Structure 1
């Protein structure tokens, strides 16, 4: 029996980057998409797809937009319960809110509860893939992967490694970080839709010995991603300089220990030196823009236009829970606002590309997810462009689909996500 489903609507996909061409020319709008065996089978005119798949089930979504599910390239799922905690800058925020909450993940049952809650919340907001930090506890990684595996989701995560400047109960050692990470990697990496990321939190919470151990593990498993933080706040950068006086700059604390590479994910990257920009571009490492976090914690204004013009690889992320929302729509809106403050506002096509193709590319998954292309895994969402009265009245006046999409980006929330599909099934 044919298991194909044809979804009719405004089917949005990308043929290229809207940063390399006029934004709307990089996108295409089709009438329908065919889904079969958990993958995208075809896109095109409705008549052509119904002829090609005569036994398919046809579902009409009217004028709603069907597009790839959002890809969140930098999150901390253990911070779910403490999201939107008031009034601290990075270092005090970690000590006051983050570290006490992360200590609770020594309890495997609590870790499982939060993993399920986080994946429920993000699915409701249209996020189908994310790359997450866990805590230092191996059971936090097991909990996240077990829940994602149950849902058939493509996710990446890793045990956070910290051996200094963290409270008792949240510190490991260079050897235990290596051993625990290696065991988790062996247990999970490549199983179903799961990938492992080697995860030193950031240079201030790792000794040179621990960074060296993580670099050695990455060298042994170069197909893994490596995720960390880089140049988020100016006082953080000063702290790094005091801890690593021999380093040329913040990036050098990673580079000197084997933690700079094409499969590296460097969260925030706001205050980069010219040498750091050059090296990141040379190796192809990904910078991950976390706009709601950067404004919420007062970190600074990411130079999206300048970095993209350099040819950097850039993804987009909520940075839950330093970021103040689980929503990639809200994240896109914040990216637009930061662009405005820098005099370089982003087009709706650029924002949607960053939240899908761009983030998938940062995760080296753009051949699998992040776009509606034949053969890609069928992770998709259905967007309601009239999800609230305020958005509906703006959409009614829109001259084209891009004006409608922009209104939903700027004012939308989980109500705009009419459906979330993971691996070809509606959730």
Structure 2
């Protein structure tokens, strides 16, 4: 039996038990938040509330200090060289858009190329499409193999002297496949291209070392990491910090403003953080990372790997249930459909039985086209799930199969 000693830390899970079990299998969309994170944000609002970087009074100074300590916590968590490399954003989507609107307009020319994979989340597709149309760039697609994985030999064929950026997901939010981000980064760098890693799923399921990966940019969201919504992180490698222009203008990111023209900007990270930040969200993110560090990422990975293997084995015994992707290279999520029954119907029945999953195209329509599906079901796991959750889910799936035929 696979147990979780951390489940009691998550109030949403314990408060929704009522008279029957509540099984949350949608952590890839949003991971549940431990009580420690909630209490940290509440403490800010009830005892520490003030804005940052603007006041000399005690509350403001304390809020500024605490926020900047979180920046250092994040830097340590991903092994950045400096906390200057850590930019706070609203989430992964804004982080990718920040790179799209600063790096390529500065360094790309008409006819240059961007490489993305066909398994990307829309957040790592649409910004590049918009930019390509505006700047006259070409998008090349790194296709999956028949086994639903990325082959580095295929990447080598796409790379050229015109390649300016490779956008690559660390772990697919649909298939859960773990991509060779370190090797791909090294190959792209040999051609002079920068590399952006979408770490929205990777940050939750694997230890991340941006120096070891060697990437130029790594983006992730707090709510995938047991933290609050509305806060994310963009890691920018040191070499780009003062060569990239600001994306948004406003307060906090300026050094001096003169009229009619003559504004100068702060150094990183503040040049990329216009306006009042999500202070409570930043503090909550810091507390979430502290919580994870206390458990240990190795313990989390071991727990989740065992849970994935257990779930895949149990799901094989549900008649007509088809699992997509490569089981040998999977983390966090399992996509599936139940025969010809629509994913929404399956998800609705499961909800009635106290099991929360995700259904739809998962913001990855090109990937679903490769699967020859318009929608799929997805179960995804967090550190609070256990084998009992899987057993309940599989039991409910068998019941749904009997009902739907």
Q: Greater relative contact order: 1 or 2 (C-alpha under 8 angstroms, separation 6 or more)? A: 2
